Structure 1
Amino acid sequence: MKIGFIGAGSMGGLLAGALLRARAFEPADVTIATRTSSKAERLARQFPGLRIGSTNLAAVQDADLIFLCVKPLDYRQVIGEIRSALRPDQLLISITSPVTLEQLERLLPCKVVKIIPSIVNGAASGASLFMYGSRLEPADKRQLVSLFGKISEPIEIPESSVRAASDLSSCGPAFMAYLLEQFVDATVEYAGMAPDIAARLGAEMLLGTARLLEQGCTMRELQERVCVPGGITAVAIEELRDSTRDAFRRVLRKTHDKFAEDLAKVEASLSEQSFWTE
């Protein structure tokens, strides 16, 4: 199986590295094309045998799977470069949520799927969000689930839920890291704990919490098990509830508003008329 990557930025590079470390495919089967050659060269040093394509066309011509890992407003240029070389039997994986399956199937002759990764996939953890195009066969879906199952938990979602799902799986690590940072900083400032010890305790706490949830303990059960009535945690969590009430509703309002803006920009950029008038 031949693999082509277009883009090796923060998420494209992370995804390529994670899949290569998991031996999902061999470096010699991978061609990466990117505007910033240093990023592809770094991957080539890590994974000897990986090829660097001089153009985007070089990454797709012989590929069975094509990962399109560029910013939403770069899709227009990249699609314009590669679509005449694409074949119906090829499978293109888009990792950008504002670009819709309908837009991709309208503009490209190949099979398309949208898969939204998460930064935690780099640690072979977390979810990957799957949305299938209409041209995929059952065998294609099994192949993709097997591939991403090496670095994540593949979860199929309706495309209409992509923003909310991405808030949890893709934005969530940043949200949780921010909250943990506030917790650690407060421990250092208020109680005088050494920063390195506080950071280590916080990280271990978060990891252990995730493992308990993974084992079937619900979020509510976990709170109840720690919050002994009248105890320190119970008093503190009431303060936390008061301080953070509606915080994530406001956060989601921001992400959804920005997503709506991005959708409109992408639609204008990828309209069929815009391609024909070039």
Structure 2
Amino acid sequence: MKIGIIGTGSMGTILVDSFIESNAMAPTQLHITNRSVEKAKQLAARHPGIRVEDNAQAVVYECDVVFLCVKPLQFHEVLQPIEFLESQLLVSITSPFSVEQLEQIVNCKVARAIPSILNRAHSGPSLLSFGTRCTAEDKQMLNHLMGAISTPLVIEENITRVASDIVSCGPAFFSYLTQRFIDGAVRETEISEEEATILATDMLIGLGKLLEKEIFTLPALQKRVCVPGGITGEGIKVLETEIGDMFDQLFRQTHAKYKEDKEIIQKQFH
């Protein structure tokens, strides 16, 4: 099976590196391209055997499965000149473009696989959706491929944005909160940024292992650590007061941007 990657930006590069390092595929199975072909060549130099094509159509000619890893507002520009075979599978990695919309534009089979930066460590979820033309074999193949670098979860269209917020955007959100946590410790105490960063990083890794091994649920962990009248409880009081509806506003904002992108895409294709 030959796999194509159109777009070697952040997520396209993560897919290439992760697929190869997990042994899900050999470099010789991959054909890639990018608007700046030089960028694709730099990625290929790390994995001898990858074929770099001059354009997207050349990738499609060579491959059975093609991952479209460009920004949503670039879909129109990229897809318009491409001709697909009905037997090919086009996989989008972006949320504003539904599989139903893609099926109206291309004549091939369509699926969506939304990855996460966590997949670079062959961990974390990925979000799958399948078009009506996909066969049972297509679904099994994509589940197996994404399963090499993630835990695939098939989702319905109505939760695509919020699921992507949690899975794909979540690492950036919680990295930001962790950095603010570290910055506060440095400002208010004598700990160095290096020391605080090491401690916070190790704490997060340990927290992940506790949850992964199902030793604690999130509520049970809070209850265990937060002893009545203790120091942790005082910190929780601050969080309860200060956080308020911050995350409600976060989801409102991401959904507003999602709606805006969908409206622009609709206009592009009509």
Match of 1:32 in 2: 32
Paired with 1:211 and 1:153, the residues of 2 have a C-alpha distance of 16
* 1:135 to 2:171 alignment: no
Match of 2:206 in 1: 208
Shift of 1:225: 0.8
Match of 1:164 in 2: 162
Shift of 1:39: 2.1
| DSSP 3-state at the match of 2:62 | coil
Would you say the 8 A contact 2:111–2:129 is kept in 1?
yes
Length-normalised TM-score, structure 2: 0.97
The alignment's C-alpha RMSD in Å is 1.0
Match of 2:98 in 1: 100
Shift of 1:16: 1.4
Paired with 1:119 and 1:98, the residues of 2 have a C-alpha distance of 19
Match of 2:81 in 1: 81
| DSSP 3-state at the match of 2:111 | strand
Match of 1:258 in 2: 257
Shift of 1:78: 1.4
In structure 1, runs of 5+ residues without a counterpart are 272-278
Letter in 1 for 2:23: R
Match of 2:114 in 1: 116
2:144 is aligned, of 143, 146, 156, to: 146
Q: What's the CA shift string for 1:103-142, capped at 9, x where partnerless?
A: 1101111110011111111111111001111111111111
- Within 5 A, what are the aligned runs for 1:51-70? 51-70=51-70
Q: What's the CA shift string for 1:23-45, capped at 9, x where partnerless?
A: 11111111111012232122111
- Within 5 A, what are the aligned runs for 1:165-180? 165-180=163-178
Would you say the 8 A contact 1:3–1:66 is kept in 2?
yes
Match of 1:274 in 2: none
In structure 2, runs of 5+ residues without a counterpart are none
Paired with 2:63 and 2:176, the residues of 1 have a C-alpha distance of 39
Paired with 1:42 and 1:122, the residues of 2 have a C-alpha distance of 18
Shift of 1:186: 1.0
Would you say the 8 A contact 2:31–2:62 is kept in 1?
no
Would you say the 8 A contact 1:13–1:39 is kept in 2?
no
Match of 2:194 in 1: 196
Match of 1:242 in 2: 241
* 1:43 to 2:43 alignment: yes
Letter in 1 for 2:28: A
Paired with 1:91 and 1:199, the residues of 2 have a C-alpha distance of 43
Paired with 1:241 and 1:167, the residues of 2 have a C-alpha distance of 22
Match of 1:231 in 2: 230
| DSSP 3-state at the match of 1:61 | helix
Would you say the 8 A contact 1:7–1:34 is kept in 2?
yes
| DSSP 3-state at the match of 1:115 | strand
Q: What's the CA shift string for 1:179-208, capped at 9, x where partnerless?
A: 100111111111121211111111111111
Shift of 1:62: 2.0
Letter in 2 for 1:180: T
Structure 1 runs of 4+ aligned residues shifted over 2 Å read: none
Would you say the 8 A contact 1:68–1:95 is kept in 2?
yes
